[in-house]
Structure 1
Amino acid sequence: MGTSRNFASLVARVILGVIFIFHGWQKLHTNGISATEAFFKSLDIPFPKAAAWYSALVEFGGGILLILGVLMPLVSLLLIADMIGAIFYAHIDKGFWNADGGYELPLALIAGLVAVGLAETGRTGADGYFTSRRRNRV
Protein backbone atom coordinates (compact mmCIF):
# COMPACT_ATOMS: atom_id res chain seq x y z
CA MET A 1 0.00 0.00 0.00
CA GLY A 2 1.37 3.44 -0.95
CA THR A 3 2.38 6.14 1.49
CA SER A 4 -0.59 8.37 0.66
CA ARG A 5 -3.01 5.49 1.25
CA ASN A 6 -1.30 4.64 4.54
CA PHE A 7 -1.69 8.26 5.59
CA ALA A 8 -5.34 8.43 4.43
CA SER A 9 -6.16 5.26 6.34
CA LEU A 10 -4.49 6.61 9.47
CA VAL A 11 -6.28 9.98 9.29
CA ALA A 12 -9.68 8.35 8.78
CA ARG A 13 -9.09 5.87 11.61
CA VAL A 14 -7.90 8.56 14.03
CA ILE A 15 -10.84 10.88 13.31
CA LEU A 16 -13.40 8.09 13.60
CA GLY A 17 -11.63 6.70 16.65
CA VAL A 18 -11.65 10.03 18.48
CA ILE A 19 -15.36 10.51 17.74
CA PHE A 20 -16.20 7.06 19.10
CA ILE A 21 -13.91 7.40 22.14
CA PHE A 22 -15.64 10.65 23.11
CA HIS A 23 -19.11 9.11 22.72
CA GLY A 24 -18.09 6.01 24.66
CA TRP A 25 -16.50 8.13 27.40
CA GLN A 26 -19.69 10.18 27.62
CA LYS A 27 -21.73 7.02 28.18
CA LEU A 28 -19.25 5.57 30.68
CA HIS A 29 -18.24 8.64 32.69
CA THR A 30 -19.84 11.96 31.74
CA ASN A 31 -23.44 10.76 31.84
CA GLY A 32 -22.75 7.34 33.34
CA ILE A 33 -24.16 3.94 32.50
CA SER A 34 -27.26 4.48 34.68
CA ALA A 35 -28.23 7.62 32.76
CA THR A 36 -27.42 5.93 29.45
CA GLU A 37 -29.57 2.96 30.45
CA ALA A 38 -32.44 5.29 31.44
CA PHE A 39 -32.15 7.11 28.11
CA PHE A 40 -32.13 3.81 26.20
CA LYS A 41 -35.15 2.67 28.21
CA SER A 42 -37.00 5.89 27.24
CA LEU A 43 -36.32 4.99 23.58
CA ASP A 44 -37.77 1.49 24.12
CA ILE A 45 -34.45 -0.15 23.28
CA PRO A 46 -34.65 -3.83 24.25
CA PHE A 47 -32.44 -4.81 27.19
CA PRO A 48 -31.45 -1.19 27.89
CA LYS A 49 -28.78 -2.04 30.47
CA ALA A 50 -27.02 -4.51 28.17
CA ALA A 51 -27.44 -2.10 25.25
CA ALA A 52 -25.96 0.76 27.30
CA TRP A 53 -22.91 -1.32 28.22
CA TYR A 54 -22.52 -2.62 24.66
CA SER A 55 -22.75 0.87 23.21
CA ALA A 56 -20.38 2.42 25.76
CA LEU A 57 -17.75 -0.31 25.53
CA VAL A 58 -17.85 -0.81 21.78
CA GLU A 59 -17.61 2.95 21.21
CA PHE A 60 -14.82 3.56 23.72
CA GLY A 61 -12.83 0.38 23.10
CA GLY A 62 -13.63 0.31 19.40
CA GLY A 63 -12.42 3.89 19.06
CA ILE A 64 -9.09 2.93 20.59
CA LEU A 65 -8.80 -0.12 18.32
CA LEU A 66 -9.64 2.01 15.26
CA ILE A 67 -6.78 4.38 16.05
CA LEU A 68 -4.39 1.48 16.57
CA GLY A 69 -5.65 -0.32 13.44
CA VAL A 70 -6.43 -3.55 15.29
CA LEU A 71 -9.06 -6.06 14.08
CA MET A 72 -10.46 -3.51 11.66
CA PRO A 73 -13.18 -5.61 9.97
CA LEU A 74 -14.56 -6.86 13.29
CA VAL A 75 -14.36 -3.50 15.08
CA SER A 76 -16.02 -1.79 12.12
CA LEU A 77 -18.88 -4.32 12.10
CA LEU A 78 -19.49 -3.90 15.84
CA LEU A 79 -19.54 -0.12 15.52
CA ILE A 80 -21.76 -0.27 12.41
CA ALA A 81 -24.25 -2.38 14.40
CA ASP A 82 -24.12 0.26 17.15
CA MET A 83 -24.79 3.05 14.63
CA ILE A 84 -27.65 1.14 12.97
CA GLY A 85 -29.24 0.86 16.41
CA ALA A 86 -28.72 4.59 16.97
CA ILE A 87 -30.33 5.40 13.64
CA PHE A 88 -33.40 3.25 14.14
CA TYR A 89 -33.99 3.91 17.83
CA ALA A 90 -32.87 7.52 18.32
CA HIS A 91 -32.69 9.35 15.00
CA ILE A 92 -34.92 7.98 12.21
CA ASP A 93 -38.08 9.80 13.30
CA LYS A 94 -36.23 13.13 13.41
CA GLY A 95 -35.39 13.16 9.71
CA PHE A 96 -32.03 13.40 7.99
CA TRP A 97 -30.34 16.54 9.34
CA ASN A 98 -28.06 16.23 12.35
CA ALA A 99 -29.07 19.70 13.56
CA ASP A 100 -32.61 18.35 14.01
CA GLY A 101 -31.40 15.20 15.80
CA GLY A 102 -31.58 13.20 12.57
CA TYR A 103 -29.51 10.32 11.29
CA GLU A 104 -26.98 12.30 9.23
CA LEU A 105 -24.02 11.79 11.65
CA PRO A 106 -24.49 8.06 12.36
CA LEU A 107 -24.93 7.47 8.62
CA ALA A 108 -21.70 9.34 7.87
CA LEU A 109 -19.94 7.33 10.59
CA ILE A 110 -21.17 4.11 8.96
CA ALA A 111 -19.71 5.25 5.63
CA GLY A 112 -16.36 5.91 7.30
CA LEU A 113 -16.47 2.57 9.10
CA VAL A 114 -17.17 0.70 5.86
CA ALA A 115 -14.20 2.44 4.25
CA VAL A 116 -11.71 1.75 7.04
CA GLY A 117 -13.10 -1.69 7.77
CA LEU A 118 -12.51 -2.86 4.20
CA ALA A 119 -9.23 -1.02 3.63
CA GLU A 120 -5.86 -2.34 4.64
CA THR A 121 -4.25 -0.33 7.41
CA GLY A 122 -0.83 -0.52 5.79
CA ARG A 123 2.15 0.31 7.94
CA THR A 124 0.12 2.71 10.09
CA GLY A 125 -1.98 0.03 11.78
CA ALA A 126 -1.32 -3.09 13.78
CA ASP A 127 -3.27 -5.27 11.33
CA GLY A 128 -1.07 -4.14 8.44
CA TYR A 129 2.11 -4.42 10.47
CA PHE A 130 1.45 -8.02 11.52
CA THR A 131 0.18 -9.02 8.07
CA SER A 132 3.33 -7.69 6.41
CA ARG A 133 5.52 -9.48 8.98
CA ARG A 134 3.75 -12.78 8.21
CA ARG A 135 4.19 -12.24 4.47
CA ASN A 136 7.90 -11.49 4.93
CA ARG A 137 8.42 -14.79 6.79
CA VAL A 138 7.00 -16.88 3.96
Structure 2
Amino acid sequence: MAAAAVFLTVAVWAECGGGAVTLEVSNQRILPENYLYIWCSDGVKREKGQKIPPKKVLQIQVASGGAWKGGQQLPYICTGTYTKFYGMDAAPYCIYSSRTAAGDVRVMANETSFYRWNGEKRAWDVIRPSLP
Protein backbone atom coordinates (compact mmCIF):
# COMPACT_ATOMS: atom_id res chain seq x y z
CA MET A 1 0.00 0.00 0.00
CA ALA A 2 1.61 3.20 -1.17
CA ALA A 3 2.12 6.01 1.27
CA ALA A 4 0.14 8.28 -1.06
CA ALA A 5 -2.90 6.01 -1.01
CA VAL A 6 -6.21 7.71 -0.35
CA PHE A 7 -8.98 6.03 1.59
CA LEU A 8 -12.12 6.56 -0.47
CA THR A 9 -14.59 4.09 0.89
CA VAL A 10 -15.00 2.46 4.26
CA ALA A 11 -17.58 -0.29 4.28
CA VAL A 12 -18.73 -1.94 7.48
CA TRP A 13 -20.83 -5.07 7.63
CA ALA A 14 -23.06 -5.67 10.63
CA GLU A 15 -26.53 -6.79 11.53
CA CYS A 16 -29.18 -4.49 10.13
CA GLY A 17 -32.85 -5.35 10.05
CA GLY A 18 -32.08 -9.04 9.93
CA GLY A 19 -29.48 -8.69 7.17
CA ALA A 20 -26.14 -7.17 6.32
CA VAL A 21 -25.39 -3.46 6.40
CA THR A 22 -22.81 -1.46 4.49
CA LEU A 23 -21.61 1.92 5.69
CA GLU A 24 -20.02 3.86 2.88
CA VAL A 25 -17.97 6.97 3.43
CA SER A 26 -17.96 8.92 0.19
CA ASN A 27 -15.08 11.36 0.07
CA GLN A 28 -13.71 11.52 -3.45
CA ARG A 29 -11.61 14.43 -2.22
CA ILE A 30 -10.72 14.48 1.44
CA LEU A 31 -12.86 17.47 2.32
CA PRO A 32 -15.28 18.44 5.09
CA GLU A 33 -18.16 17.54 2.76
CA ASN A 34 -17.52 13.84 3.41
CA TYR A 35 -20.79 12.00 3.90
CA LEU A 36 -21.82 8.62 5.19
CA TYR A 37 -24.38 6.30 3.65
CA ILE A 38 -25.77 3.27 5.40
CA TRP A 39 -26.99 0.55 3.06
CA CYS A 40 -29.13 -2.22 4.54
CA SER A 41 -29.87 -5.53 2.85
CA ASP A 42 -33.38 -4.28 2.13
CA GLY A 43 -31.86 -1.70 -0.21
CA VAL A 44 -32.93 1.27 1.88
CA LYS A 45 -30.49 4.16 1.88
CA ARG A 46 -30.14 5.66 5.36
CA GLU A 47 -28.80 8.97 6.58
CA LYS A 48 -25.40 9.37 8.20
CA GLY A 49 -25.11 8.98 11.93
CA GLN A 50 -27.70 6.25 12.30
CA LYS A 51 -26.92 3.82 15.10
CA ILE A 52 -26.16 0.22 14.16
CA PRO A 53 -25.21 -2.88 16.17
CA PRO A 54 -21.48 -3.62 16.58
CA LYS A 55 -19.86 -4.38 13.28
CA LYS A 56 -17.83 -7.45 12.51
CA VAL A 57 -15.62 -6.83 9.49
CA LEU A 58 -14.35 -3.59 8.02
CA GLN A 59 -13.01 -3.34 4.50
CA ILE A 60 -11.12 -0.41 3.07
CA GLN A 61 -11.03 0.25 -0.66
CA VAL A 62 -7.75 1.88 -1.54
CA ALA A 63 -7.18 4.30 -4.39
CA SER A 64 -4.10 6.20 -5.45
CA GLY A 65 -4.10 9.43 -7.41
CA GLY A 66 -7.88 9.46 -7.48
CA ALA A 67 -8.23 6.18 -9.40
CA TRP A 68 -9.31 2.80 -8.09
CA LYS A 69 -6.67 0.09 -7.98
CA GLY A 70 -8.77 -2.42 -9.86
CA GLY A 71 -11.45 -2.17 -7.20
CA GLN A 72 -9.11 -3.93 -4.78
CA GLN A 73 -10.46 -4.33 -1.27
CA LEU A 74 -8.09 -4.86 1.62
CA PRO A 75 -9.73 -6.59 4.60
CA TYR A 76 -9.12 -5.36 8.12
CA ILE A 77 -10.40 -6.98 11.29
CA CYS A 78 -11.31 -4.51 13.99
CA THR A 79 -10.33 -5.25 17.57
CA GLY A 80 -13.00 -3.06 19.10
CA THR A 81 -16.73 -2.64 18.75
CA TYR A 82 -18.98 0.36 18.66
CA THR A 83 -22.67 0.91 18.03
CA LYS A 84 -22.44 4.14 16.10
CA PHE A 85 -19.93 4.43 13.28
CA TYR A 86 -20.33 8.18 12.86
CA GLY A 87 -17.87 9.60 15.37
CA MET A 88 -17.04 6.11 16.67
CA ASP A 89 -18.14 7.31 20.09
CA ALA A 90 -18.63 3.91 21.70
CA ALA A 91 -14.97 2.90 21.42
CA PRO A 92 -11.83 5.02 21.83
CA TYR A 93 -10.01 3.33 18.98
CA CYS A 94 -10.01 0.47 16.53
CA ILE A 95 -6.94 -1.13 14.98
CA TYR A 96 -7.07 -2.83 11.59
CA SER A 97 -4.30 -5.15 10.42
CA SER A 98 -3.56 -6.71 7.06
CA ARG A 99 -0.54 -8.48 5.57
CA THR A 100 0.24 -7.18 2.09
CA ALA A 101 3.06 -7.70 -0.39
CA ALA A 102 4.77 -4.72 1.21
CA GLY A 103 4.45 -6.21 4.68
CA ASP A 104 2.12 -5.70 7.59
CA VAL A 105 -0.16 -2.68 7.46
CA ARG A 106 -1.79 -1.39 10.62
CA VAL A 107 -4.37 1.36 10.67
CA MET A 108 -5.92 2.90 13.77
CA ALA A 109 -9.05 5.01 13.95
CA ASN A 110 -10.34 6.97 16.89
CA GLU A 111 -12.88 9.72 17.34
CA THR A 112 -10.63 12.33 15.75
CA SER A 113 -8.46 10.78 13.05
CA PHE A 114 -7.25 7.78 11.11
CA TYR A 115 -3.65 6.75 11.67
CA ARG A 116 -1.15 4.42 10.02
CA TRP A 117 1.59 2.71 11.99
CA ASN A 118 5.07 3.87 11.02
CA GLY A 119 7.40 0.99 11.85
CA GLU A 120 10.55 3.02 11.29
CA LYS A 121 9.51 5.79 13.67
CA ARG A 122 7.58 3.39 15.92
CA ALA A 123 4.74 5.89 15.95
CA TRP A 124 1.31 6.50 14.41
CA ASP A 125 1.12 8.83 11.40
CA VAL A 126 -2.12 10.67 10.69
CA ILE A 127 -3.24 9.55 7.24
CA ARG A 128 -6.53 11.38 6.85
CA PRO A 129 -8.96 13.52 8.80
CA SER A 130 -11.85 12.04 10.67
CA LEU A 131 -15.42 12.02 9.48
CA PRO A 132 -17.06 15.43 9.84
Structure label with greater radius of gyration = 1
Higher helix share: 1
Normalising by structure 2, report the TM-score: 0.26
Q: Which has the higher contact order (CA 8 A, sep 6+)?
A: 1
Higher strand share: 2
Normalising by structure 1, report the TM-score: 0.26
